Amino acid sequence: MTELTELKCEACQAGAPKISEEELAKLMKQIPDWSLPVRDGVMQLERAYDFKNFKLAWAFANRVAELAESEFHHPSILLEWGKVTVTWWTHAINGLHRNDLIMAAKTDALLDS
């Protein structure tokens, strides 16, 4: 199985298929620290990252923003003192696309950079 971090986001239009339950279950094994909250009927991917202070959290949030812009797929980023919460979902389809899991894995990889 190809690592999610090696994949690129593909253009996603309204009407694109949401990720299947089978593929979601398989790919979630690569990003086990992410949860699947449902808000207003929309399944999302979410993870909170803890840091020692605001400055480190801020730097990480900036790296997430740069990643999002490079892939042209943008999450919700909540920056707090010592914590960054990142939430991915595809607005165009009101749910999860494979792109969201790719971006979650790439977000995790930022911790190593």
Domain ranges of the chain: 18-112
Walk along the chain (113 residues) in steps of 10 and give the mean pLDDT of each run: 71 79 95 97 97 98 96 95 97 92 96 80
What local confidence, expressed as pLDDT, does residue 11 receive? 63
| 18-112: CATH class | alpha beta
Strands (DSSP E) found in 1-113: 38-39, 42-43, 45-50, 76-80, 83-88
What local confidence, expressed as pLDDT, does residue 2 receive? 60
Identify whether the C-beta of residue 81 lies closer than 8 Å to the C-beta of residue 26.
Answer: no
